[in-house]
Amino acid sequence: MTGVDVLVVGAGLAGLHTATLLAQGGHDVLLVERRPSLTGAIRTTGIFVRKTLDDFPLPAECLGPPIRRVVLYPPGLRRPVTLVSDRDEYRVGDMAPLYVAAARAAADAGVRIALGTRYAGRRDDAFLLAGPDGPTRVRARFVVGADGARSKVARDLALDRNDHLLIGAEEVFEVSGHERPPTFHCVLDPSLAPGYLAWVVNDGRHAHVGVAGYAHRFPGGMRSALERFGTSAPGLPVAERPHDVERRGGPIPVGGLLRRIGCAGGLLVGDAAGAVSPLTAGGLDPCLRLSELAADVLHDALRAGRPDALAHYDGAVLRARFRGRLLLRRGLAQVRTPAVAAAAFGVLRTPPGRAAARRILFGDRSFPVPR
């Protein structure tokens, strides 16, 4: 049986970033990922917000053209509201090469990466892994649950677990510079996307057409909502029917950061910790920022040999800063019919409504993590 300082479960952005920072700190890190390849079964649209692009050195060749224009639509798509920023607000990541680049950085820092290897649980003082060569056991001083919204590590560590989830699905295909300028189209229609949005992001290279909402509220199911939206979605080339369509999707935790995300045995990062904006459902910026805090805390715990240092990794303290966004999430969840959505949309046509939308879409706030 091998022994490591830290076992990181899940090679999404949260796991890759946490593992890299820990290895850079001189620790022995094993990162396990159940997918056989990092380029398959991608879940996210990959929209990175300006604050993330400013603060994290993402490889420029893995990012699409900047987006400054957002168009908001009511049900029926009539009289949309267009917001244009004078700064580059978003870029869509080319996620497959981006994950590969992040894995290369992790390996360069000394992380051992085991793909096709599933974390299967904990027995006595060892973690059980199921890999291509059969089951193995590994001993680790700490385990990091970076294993997504339905974290098994959270369950095994008896930490909090996400119970407020949206479900999202999208289709991605190439477009040929049809739309200028690159635009993020958001449709607020609970008959298409109950509790959230239907979207088209067209940056002139790729179009992402998606819906997300509360799973049990999709009339006819999420797949049929996505198909329906695909036939009327704004911002797409009319004539072009794509040949190659990549499908993505998965759960999105929007109940806010969980309270208990660390204990003496380990901690949670990314979606596993509920580190997603309850309002916008953006999780890429939160997962990077929380990973930095997690790596700092683990570094201290490993250096001092004191597992109780993980007590400082307290979700309840951070969660308090999400009160406003949690309230707005509750409000969005109440919008159940197109008529109510159309009435609420009227607010966005007023100057204060537009100003509030600009603050949410183009603001300088990011996931609040103390340094």
Tokens 């739309």, located at residue: 179
CA torsion 322→324→326→327, rounded to 10°?
160
* CA dist 160 → 38, 79, 203 (Å): 27, 43, 38
- Interaction mask 254-283, ligand FAD, x per CB under 6 A: ----------------xx----x-----xx
Give me the least distance between CB of 38 and ligand FAD, in Å please.
8
**Given its phi and psi angles, is residue 110 left (phi above 0), alpha (psi -120 to 50 degrees) or beta?**
left
Kindly report the number of other CB atoms within 10 A of residue 104's CB atom.
14
In DSSP terms, which residues pair with 4 in a beta bridge? 140
> Toward ligand FAD, which CB reaches closer, 155 or 303?
155
CA distance 138 to 128: 7
Residues 224-253 that bind ligand FAD (CB under 6 A): 248-250, 252
C-beta nearest to ligand FAD: residue: 283
The yes or no reply on residue 27 touching ligand FAD (CB under 6 A) is no
Asked if residue 35 binds ligand FAD (CB under 6 A), the reply is yes
Tell me 79's DSSP state: S
Strand partners, 113: 31
CB contact set of 241 (below 8 Å; sequence gap of 6+) = none
Phi, psi of 42 (to 5 degrees): -75, 140
State which of residues 5, 6, 15, 186 lies at the interface with ligand FAD (CB under 6 A). Answer: 15
**Residue the block writes with tokens 């300006």:** 50
Residue 179 or 203 having the CB closest to ligand FAD: 203
330 vs 334: CA distance, rounded Å = 7
- Measured from the CB atom, the residue of 80 and 121 that comes closer to ligand FAD is 121
Query: By CB under 6 A, what part of segment 118-147 binds ligand FAD?
Result: 118-119, 146-147
Q: Which residues contact 343 (CB under 8 A, 6 or more apart)?
A: none
Choose between 114 and 344: whose C-beta lies nearer to ligand FAD.
Answer: 114
Question: Minimum distance between the CB of residue 205 and ligand FAD, rounded to whole angstroms?
Answer: 15
Given 6, 8, 12, 193, the residue binding ligand FAD (CB under 6 A): 12
Site string for ligand FAD, 76-95 (x = CB under 6 A): --------------------
* Contact pattern for ligand FAD over residues 169 through 208, marking x by CB under 6 A: -x--------------------------------------
Q: Which of 74, 148, 235, 315 binds ligand FAD (CB under 6 A)?
A: 148
Q: How far is the CB of 105 from ligand FAD (least distance, A)?
A: 15
Residue span binding ligand FAD (CB under 6 A) among the ranges 33-41, 154-162, 237-245, 321-329 = 33-41
Closest by Cα among 40, 18, 39, 38 to 30:
18
Angle, helices 95-109/13-24, rounded to nearest 10 degrees: 20
* From 29-37, 189-197, 216-224, 352-360, span contacting ligand FAD (CB under 6 A): 29-37
Give the shortest CB-342-to-ligand FAD separation in angstroms.
Answer: 25
Per CB under 6 A, the segment of 26-34, 171-179, 224-232, 294-302 that binds ligand FAD is 26-34
Laid out side by side, the sheet with 165-174 consists of: 81-84, 69-73, 183-187, 198-202, 206-213, 165-174, 246-253
Interface characters, 39-58, with ligand FAD (x: CB under 6 A): ----xxxxx-----------
The least distance separating ligand FAD from the CB of residue 343, rounded to whole angstroms, comes to 28
Q: Using the Cα atoms of residue 233, residue 236, residue 238 and residue 239 in order, give the sign of their dihedral.
A: negative
Q: How far apart are CA 166 and CA 271, in angstroms?
A: 12
Query: Minimum Å distance from CB 141 to ligand FAD?
Result: 19
- Tell me which residues touch ligand FAD (CB under 6 A): 9-15, 32-35, 43-47, 118-119, 146-148, 152, 168, 170, 210, 248-250, 252, 270-271, 276, 282-285, 287
